[in-house]
Each structure stands twice: as structure tokens, then as C-alpha cells.
Amino acid sequence: MYICKECNTEYKTKPDYCDCGNDTFDYIEEKQPLSLEQKSEIVSRIFFAICVIIAVSVWFIPMSKKVEHSQKPAAKTNTAIPDINKIWNDTPIYKPKTTEQPITQTAPIILTPTEPVQKKNLVTAKTEPPKVLEKPKAPAAIKEPVQIVETPKKVEPQKPVYNPNSPAMINYKTKLRAALFSKFAVGSIQGSGNCSISFSVDKTGKLVNRKFTKESDNKSLNDTVYYMLMSVPKFTAPPEEYNGETIRMNFSINNGNYEISIH
């Protein structure tokens, strides 16, 4: 049985390429099921091992020892009953003496008649009922004009327009080409051929949508380019102006002479 190293897909026979494009596989021998005799032998060995463990564990159980507790007789205490005549007290209860206060006679109060009081003619003035004062009315409140404050809208900065020939993009593609070329094994290619690939880069620098746009008749060239793409799954983040446009690379090999372009 053959298993793909990239996606772990199983094959009974070794194919040239996996569905994911990988051409390296691991060979695994198929395990044959155990026969009935082998299963019975394994069960008997396990049962024998359990019996041996139980037999040996008996020797490690400690023997219980009887502990004799010495009981001492309780000490006798001689408690003598005291004489009640020494405890009893015949003294009477203390009562405070009450003292009688003498009654003093007061002289009688004699009331003498006084001269009659002459009544004066009092002229009563007419009183008018009090006037009820009304509370002054509060002046009507003057309504102030309400000022409507408009919140300024957030103006998002315009993203730079993507230009594949800008200095930032040319510098980025040059570094990306160098990173890919470091994994390009030129010496493993025999003969000549031309092929092309395309891919995109997300915001984190991951290479996505990798594929061949043109395959060569030279299998060694296709294998080398495929290995190069799989060896560099991620690069640095692209410039802000890059918006996910497709990046293309062309490979031209002629008996050891090569030309690699990126655009």
C-alpha cells in the first residue's frame, strides 16, 4: 500500500502523481489478521500472567498481630462527707431599720378681699379680612434655538491603486523570485523545456491558488518546478497596494541554461 506524503491518500498501486500533485509516497505493508490459534495463545498467556501475579501478591499481605491492652484498675478515691454543723449558719437575715419622720404643722393661709377692678370701656375696632396675595406669574420661558451638531463622517483613506510595475511591487517580486529560486534544483533537470505557473499571495504572505498554467513535455522540469512551489508555502506580507492579483512565472531550460521570469 502507498500513502501520499502531502495529503495521506492511500493507493494500492503506486501512481505517478497524487490528486494533490505530489509524486512522493510511503510504502506500508498490509497487516494480516491474527488466526484463531494465535488469539487463543495470547488469551492463555494473559490468564497465566494474572494467576502468577495473584499467587505472588499473597506473600506480601502482612499478618495481623493481636495487641494486648493492659487494663489498669481504677484508683479508689476516699471521699469523706463533711459535717453539716460546720457548714450550717444560724445568723438571722439583715433587715434595715425604718425611721419615722415627724409631722410638721403649717400655719393656715388667710385670704383677704381685694378692691374690685373697674371695667374699662374698650372700643373694638373693625377688622377687615386679610387680603389673599396672589403669586406673581412666572414669565414664559424663552425657547432657545436648538443647534444641531453634525458629526463629521470618517473619511477612509483611499487605497493605492495596484500597479504591477511600481517600485514596491518590483522589489517584492524580485525577493519572491529569489526565495523560490533557492528551492529550484537546476541540476536535476535533464534536456530542455518550457513551463509556466501562477499563484496569488494573501495578506499574511501565504501563497494560494498555486497551479501550472502550462506544463512541459519534460517531466523532470515539471517535477522540479512543483517541488519548488511546495517548498515555499509562505513568504513575507505583500505591499498595501497589492490586491490579490495573479503572479505568473515562466521557466525556460535548454541543456543547463535557464531563464526564469516573474510578472
Task: Give 142-184 pLDDT, tens digit per residue.
Answer: 666 666 777 777 766 666 677 888 899 999 999 999 999 999 9
pLDDT band at 122 (very low <50, low <70, confident <90, very high): very low
Q: Average pLDDT in the 189-218 region?
A: 93
Question: Per DSSP, which regions of the chain are E strands?
Answer: 2-4, 10-11, 25-27, 192-201, 207-214, 247-254, 257-262
In this model, does residue 215 exceed pLDDT 90?
Answer: yes
pLDDT tens-place string over residues 44-81: 999 899 998 988 887 777 665 554 555 555 555 556 66
- Tell me which CATH code domain 167-262 carries: 3.30.1150.10
Cα dihedral: 200, 202, 204, 206 (round 10): -40
Q: Average pLDDT in the 198-217 region?
A: 93
CA dist 194 → 64, 93, 119, 222, 246 (Å): 91, 136, 147, 9, 20
In this model, does residue 119 exceed pLDDT 80?
Answer: no
Strand ordering across the sheet containing 25-27: 10-11, 2-4, 25-27
CA diameter of the chain:
162
Phi, psi of 197 (to 5 degrees): -130, 165
pLDDT band at 10 (very low <50, low <70, confident <90, very high): confident
In this model, does residue 194 exceed pLDDT 60?
Answer: yes
pTM of the full structure? 0.41
Q: Average pLDDT in the 11-18 region?
A: 81
Phi, psi of 60 (to 5 degrees): -95, 5
In this model, does residue 121 exceed pLDDT 70?
Answer: no
Domain spans of the chain, in order of start: 1-53, 167-262
State how far the Cα of 259 lies from the Cα of 175, in Å rounded to an integer: 16
